[in-house]
Amino acid sequence: MFLNDFAKDTQVELIVKLDNQEIKLNTEIINRIDKISDKFGYGIVCKPIIIKDKLINLNGFPIDLNIYHTDKRTYSFKVSVTALDIKRKLLLIYSKDDSEAEEYRGAFRIPCTYKTILQFGPHTKAIDSFTHDLSYSGASFLLNAEDADIEIGKVVSSSIFDREGHIYKIDGRVVRIVEDFNPGIFLIGVKFKGEGLRSFVSRLQIQEARLKKL
């Protein structure tokens, strides 16, 4: 499939490569663009990336792009160019490559923001955090870089609070650490032990599917 084969409201994950680190950002398609040239290929119009009321211009950054489709597959693209339409607040993304699908059953991620308390090892202080995304096997969390001594492989205990007042407690290990666009903010990836969030994530997936039908 080419980039403009995907429908409006399809979720898009941008993987921005910055100083040997990867920063993951989420947006969604609001329109499609026909092929412009062999150099730029096909395009999509997406919601802009806005951080602290600032439009983020990604032009010039090496970017990979993942699209998580309703057919339970992920489609990956190398981005040819991105452009920011500041006046209309639109993010334009182009890719000349065709993409073959890869199965991602059980590996999808749902962007979401839930209050979380993290603890890195026994007898350490509890740290306030928020989820960035969730899957059956792991999650990404946002937290202040000064709050904890974090390193790859470190054990972390998490308590995730949903909007109905339930608390989901699950342990895991840190597998990824990247610096957010906001100075002093880290995004950490955690792989869980077991599948303790499967029922919660399944419910979120159903809710997300219902919202898209509205």
CATH number for the domain spanning 118: value is: 2.40.10.220
Same structural domain for residues 114 and 93?
no
Give me the pLDDT at residue 207, please: 64
Q: For residue 213, is it within any domain? A: no
Q: Of the candidates 49, 75, 103, which is a domain's last residue?
A: 103
Coil vs helix vs strand at 154: coil
H or E segment and range at residue 199: helix 198-213
Give me the pLDDT at residue 71, please: 59
Same structural domain for residues 71 and 131?
no
Instruction: Please determine, for residue 213, whether its predicted confidence score (pLDDT) is greater than 50.
Output: no
Give me the pLDDT at residue 129, please: 94
Same structural domain for residues 20 and 85?
yes
The larger pLDDT score, comparing residue 130 to residue 39, is at: 130
Same structural domain for residues 50 and 75?
yes
Torsion sign, CA atoms 205, 160, 174, 62 = positive
H or E segment and range at residue 206: helix 198-213
C-alpha span between 45 and 95 (Å, rounded): 12
The larger pLDDT score, comparing residue 184 to residue 144, is at: 144
Mean of pLDDT values over 92-99: 86
Mean of pLDDT values over 181-203: 77
Paired sense of beta strands 41-46 and 21-37, if any: antiparallel
37 class by beta-carbon count within 10 Å (0-12 exposed, 13-18 middle, 19+ buried): exposed
pLDDT for 120-171, tens place per residue?
988 888 999 999 988 878 889 999 877 767 888 889 999 999 888 889 899 9
Q: Of the candidates 103, 137, 170, which is a domain's last residue?
A: 103
Instruction: Please determine, for residue 82, whether its predicted confidence score (pLDDT) is greater than 70.
Output: yes
Coil vs helix vs strand at 35: strand
Check: CB of residue 190 under 8 Å from CB of residue 158: yes
Q: Of the candidates 81, 103, 125, which is a domain's last residue?
A: 103
- Tell me, rounded to whole angstroms, the distance of Cα 132 from its chain centroid: 7
Q: For residue 209, is it within any domain? A: no
Q: Read off the pLDDT band of 106 (50, 70, 90).
A: very low
Same structural domain for residues 25 and 42?
yes
Instruction: Please determine, for residue 64, whether its predicted confidence score (pLDDT) is greater than 80.
Output: yes
Count of domains observed in the chain: 2
For 73, the token pair is 């597959």
Same structural domain for residues 56 and 82?
yes
Cβ contacts of 84 within 8 Å, gap of 6 or more: 48, 55, 56, 57, 58, 59, 90, 91, 92
Mean of pLDDT values over 182-208: 76
Give me the pLDDT at residue 105, please: 43
Give me the pLDDT at residue 177, please: 83
The average confidence (pLDDT) of the chain is 82
Give me the pLDDT at residue 180, please: 64
Same structural domain for residues 53 and 72?
yes
Give me the pLDDT at residue 74, please: 77
Mean of pLDDT values over 84-98: 88
- Domain of residue 55, CATH code: 2.30.110.10
Same structural domain for residues 7 and 96?
yes
Closest CA to 74 of 105, 46, 98, 47: 105
Q: Which domain covers residue 88, as residue numbers?
A: 3-103
* pTM for the model: 0.50
Q: For residue 136, is it within any domain? A: yes
Mean of pLDDT values over 27-53: 89
Q: Read off the pLDDT band of 44 (50, 70, 90).
A: very high
